[in-house]
Amino acid sequence: MTSRQIDTPIGPLTLTVEDGYLTRLEFGAPATLGEASPGDSEVLDKAIREILLYFQGRLTEFSIPVSLKGPPFHLKVWEELKKIPYGETRTYQEIAESLGSPKAARAVGNACAANPVAIVVPCHRVLAKTGLGGFGGGLAVKKWLLRHEGVSVDDRKAT
């Protein structure tokens, strides 16, 4: 496992790679940084390049290999989130319906909150029916990411 912190327009992000896969992308500084193994270093370097290109507006789709671990429903939600194109949004309800669970909007929100690789698995693109919803990096960061992708958020309130 290896981790590295990078500076971005939304503050520091910590990326963690394990066994050749990005396993975490967290807001803020890490408690500790892991030592790099050669294979992990290559993937980490690629992840950093892609994240920085994203913030420069030069990348709209990530190709970083990601390993997601969690409950089965969360895994389904995260796979669905990866299908939301850059610059588009969905509601928690729309994600629930696309998974065949129309009454599971709240569970979709819980899965978004538990997303271990924010931005790469774009939970920031999921909104509540009446506003922004929540976001682990904070609502100001969610607004920044959406605006960065060309989504108008001025008329949406936090819920």
CA–CA dist 102, 80 (Å, integer)? 14
How many other CB atoms are there within 10 angstroms of residue 91's CB atom?
Answer: 16
Picking from 155, 94, 105, 101, the residue whose alpha carbon sits closest to that of residue 146 is 155
Q: Which of 13, 123, 132, 145 is catalytic?
A: 123
Beta bridge partners of 131: 128, 157
DSSP state of 68: -
C-alpha R_g of the chain: 15
CA 15, CA 3: separation in Å to the nearest integer? 5
Please say if 112 is a catalytic residue: no
Q: Is 27 exposed, middle or buried (0-12, 13-18, 19+ CB in 10 A)?
A: middle
Active site residues: 123
